[in-house]
Amino acid sequence: MLIRQPEQNSKRGSALLMVLLAGVLIILIGAGMLFFYQKQVERRVLLEFDIHRKLAAKSGFALVQYSGTGTYVYAVASNRPVILVTVGEPEPIYKEDFQSLSNWVAKTDGGGAVDNTPPTESEAGQYRFSTTSTNIGQRNELVFAGTNDVAWNRYPFGLCYEMWIYDTDKIWAGYVYVGNSNAWVKMFTTNATASLTVFGEPDANRRLELYEHTANTIGSPTNDYPSAIQNGATDMGTPTQLYMDRTYMAIGVQVGEKTFTYTGATNLPIGFAGVSNVLLGVGGFNQAIATNETLVLNKFEVRNPYKYEIYLSWTNQNRFLGATNTLVTTNVLATVVDATPPGLGKIKYYFFDSFRTIVEE
């Protein structure tokens, strides 16, 4: 005779279910521990790699001090990325190639014209400013309309606005300005505008004057608040910079092939730090009756005040760093060196990317 024992079968089924649940739980716990271990290893590897990037950048800094620009390999472990360190000159944020007026809008007081002469195989390009007006002090300039961000207060160490004015007639004054305005005609009557003017002087070759236009009502590139004047037999064609950051502005003059000296450092009013509507212009005004005479602009660039930049490139020889991505691993700006122009305080050397280190002399 077959006797059924439902309670005993139920207990056996419950025990089997508990065993299965325990097994699944153990598997899940094991998988979770494995996942967290993997993440821990990944974080450790990425931290290690970040340390090596810092060391590679600092090695590049040492290379700058002793041998200038160059490229070398910073080797790590065999199963880690090989870091290529390149020390080079910084690229400008904006460089005018004089191909056309597409990045600029011509603005003149009257009787003025701006002509573009593109570069040729034998001659560099240039912008030529002229006027047929018999009045003096006529503004004749180009207002920047490009897409580059040329606002000094959006960069950690400010910007240099570099121009090369060549004026053989010496009856024009060339200038560059940058400031807070929505309209060209208000640039020298609204707050927070800085300008650098290059005058051609028959007896001293040229004169440089630096201005901040926070208390000006006459609407001219010159006003009653010059902050620095430099006289001397400097060639009119010498590249000259208007340097600005959130704190002060200064004149930069080229003294070597790639070296600038800075003078006339002047504290800026607090309003310059918060400028949002930035307008940039280059041009000139006639100091005497200048019928059919011209002012020539041979060079214009906007650049960071860095002497060198250090780039890191590497190959992803570790699975925790992901697949090789040339957008991430090629020419990654890791370091900026010598960020403070000489003559404007103590020289500081900066390293920054995802990390930031400051080394002072």
What is the edge-to-edge ordering of all strands in the sheet holding 193-201?
104-108, 139-144, 278-286, 172-180, 193-201, 205-212, 226-233
Q: Where in the chain is the domain with CATH 2.60.120.200?
A: 94-303
Pairwise CA distance, residues 294 & 312, whole Å: 46
Provide the 10 A C-beta neighbour count for residue 157: 19
Taking each continuous run of H as one helix and of E as one strand, the counts in the chain are: 2, 21
Q: Residue 96: its pLDDT value, please?
A: 93
- Residue pLDDT tens, the chain, 361 long: 555 556 665 666 666 677 677 777 777 777 777 777 777 777 887 787 778 877 888 777 777 767 777 888 887 667 677 788 888 888 899 999 999 888 999 998 878 889 999 988 888 899 999 888 888 888 889 999 988 989 998 888 889 999 998 866 667 888 999 988 777 777 777 668 888 988 876 555 678 888 887 766 555 544 444 555 655 556 777 889 999 988 888 888 888 777 788 877 778 888 788 887 888 999 988 877 766 678 899 999 999 888 788 888 877 666 656 555 555 566 677 777 777 665 566 566 666 654 555 444 4
Q: Residue 300: its pLDDT value, please?
A: 95
Provide the 10 A C-beta neighbour count for residue 219: 14
Q: Residue 59: its pLDDT value, please?
A: 78
Q: Residue 241: its pLDDT value, please?
A: 92
Q: Residue 344: its pLDDT value, please?
A: 64
Q: Residue 354: its pLDDT value, please?
A: 46
Say yes or no: domain 94-303 is CATH 1.10.510.10: no
Chain centre distance of CA 84: 23
Q: Residue 79: its pLDDT value, please?
A: 67
Q: Residue 138: its pLDDT value, please?
A: 83
Q: Residue 180: its pLDDT value, please?
A: 83
